[in-house]
Structure 1
Amino acid sequence: MSSPPQDDAPQALPPDRAQAVSPASAQTPDVPMDEDGHSPRAERIIRDSLPPSIPPRRRPPPSISPAAQPVSRRRRLARHALTVLLILLTSALLKTFVVQFYEIPSGSMETTLQAGDQVAVTMYDSTHIERGDVVVFVDPDGWLDTAEPTGIRGLFQDLLETIRLLPKDTGHHLIKRVIGMPGDHVVADGQGSLSVNGVQIDEPYLKPGHSASNVAFDVVVPEGHVWVMGDNRSNSSDSRFHRGDAHGGFVPLSNVVGVAKAVIWPIGRWNLLDEGDPVFAEVAAPRER
């Protein structure tokens, strides 16, 4: 009678015996545990039993020649200088051909403009002026009593004018309203009446309580010039008071730098300056008289 086949699988041991021959209990002595169930001693034993690791190869940092470092600094400086140059160039182009900003120095244009107002002046239409436009122009014949700055201040102003951070001829600009264009016949009787080419002018922009002119004059504007007056007629040193000058009180068109379009500062004073043109809508051109 043959013997029963032998099972190659290991026979299960009773729990008490399996615990007795457990590898962990046979190889690892009791060690203290911390609150989280970790045993620093056991971890140290396991760590010490591992084969030594091979430290990674450390590659030396790439060598930088001493000559390369100044080159990098020079490039950074060159980039910064180019950025500043582009900003200055853009500003100069804008202020030369597009717009410039001026501060009103006096009350001669009240109440349209007040002392301290900042106005935006377009430069591209200085040759397309119309009656009623508020224009900025360079003093033609010493209308202003302005002394040129000297010393460091003068040099600094010249530099700012050269790079267009300040307008050319700083301190020598005036702002008035164009009343007469080349060929216009402008007449004031000194009693508050003003006419251009025979058309009586009613000016709503005048300072309240002020008439068109308490100074009498009768002029024909020469070619290439304009006749200008301030809106505050009793407190404006304009064309009326400079008829004895070299230009006879007329302002050469070549002295006009631009047309004031808006008050931009202070914020509470912001407004467009476009109310002058309709006043002269009925005035005929000189050739049509």
Structure 2
Amino acid sequence: MPKLLSRAVISILLFVANVAVANEYRINIDNDLVAIHNKADSKKSTQTPKAAVLLIHGWASQMNEVGDMYLQLAARLAAKDYASLRINIRGESEGEKNNFKMTSTFASRVADAQAGLNFLLEQYPNTPIAVVGFSLGGATALALTGSNPDKISSVVLWSSAGNPANMLDTMPTEVVQKVMKTGQAILQQWVDLTITRKHLQGMQGHDIFSPLAEYTGALLSIRGSDDYVPVQEPKIFASANASPEESVLISGADHIYHSLSADKQYVERVLTHTIRWFNDTLNEKNCL
């Protein structure tokens, strides 16, 4: 979910790293949806991966995520013999190419995530599929899971948002009023983000919780004790029929797990919990 962030945070959110990960391929799916496909460790490339994982980024971010957390996760997944796909949400991730104009809707977010899921299902038809969602990407992951309860075996949420309509509550009133009156307005952060009426209205009227009743796979939620996003776990777990399910609260961590600080202990915990969860839940016994 959006928040007035420091210049350092926004610079990282909009930064696409040039760090390369072995055995990864930049691709376009669904016409112009940019993604990076990481295959499993090259030493095991002749084998079917343990699972394939879709990574869905947060609001106004990009496929590598803040502090390169998704880039790091993709590398660790590959080393553990998991394939992954991280996507750039259209209408949010273009940055300078689109003059930082926010034109996505929640429906378009879910559609992009669905395209990513379809790609993995086609590439790995006999392999368990998992999803990771960060912040608004967590809400997107929940909506995707509710629409595909029989195709997803395990879900991990990082600092997950809930109802996407709550986005309006986190923006200055004058910005929201101007967007609704004139069609767009500038949200001043490290860069001037142009918030459009299409973007804000497109976050309204979505029920991401009720469809989760059909989901019976694994569900892990990780959140920092200092997260500004209100706790969503009680409603998420009450809505889903997930098994197993687990909530991890990392004491002292903020919404982005202090990923921009020199001390990476919180990032390390998030990555370790995520890999451990997939190792525990993406196996023959627990998968669909």
The question of a shared fold, defined as TM-score above 0.5 by the shorter chain, is answered with no
- With normalisation by structure 1, the TM-score equals 0.26
- With normalisation by structure 2, the TM-score equals 0.26
